[in-house]
Amino acid sequence: MAQVIAESVATGTGQGGVIACSALKQAYRDRLRAADPGLVTVCLDVEEAELGRRRARRRGHFFPAELFASELAVLEPPTRDEGAVTVLGELTLVDGAVEEIVRGLSSEESDP
């Protein structure tokens, strides 16, 4: 991912983009941010029980159930110091979460 980000920055188009990845640890996000110091991380904050319900509803998904607990165990939630925007994952993604992300990004731009 860092290479994709760096290549995008290098093209100099001035356009933003969205990349989805887990980046569970701060070290992973630091590596991505090294490729673009202006990178903003968006974290969907979802309760563990809700994540379990969502995972159980998925059929034919590539993510094995056995990895679920280990992923949560290594999660280091991003902080505002990292340039992170955190939104409630319980929101309806299309209706609520996107609006929260846009608001978070707007406030991130206005912070000194």
Give the integer Cα–Cα distance in Å for 28 and 32. 6
| Arithmetic mean of pLDDT, 66-70 | 81
Write down the pTM of the prediction: 0.73
Mean pLDDT over 91-98 rounds to 67
Residue ranges and CATH numbers for the domains of the chain are 2-110 (3.40.50.300)
Each residue's pLDDT tens digit, 25-49: 999 999 999 999 888 888 888 888 8
Provide DSSP, 28-93. Answer: HHHHHHHH-TT--EEEEE--HHHHHHHHHH-SS-SS-TTHHHHHHHH-----GGGTEEEEETTS-I
Q: Is residue 112 pLDDT above 60, yes or no?
A: no
The answer to whether 5 and 36 have CB atoms below 8 angstroms apart is yes
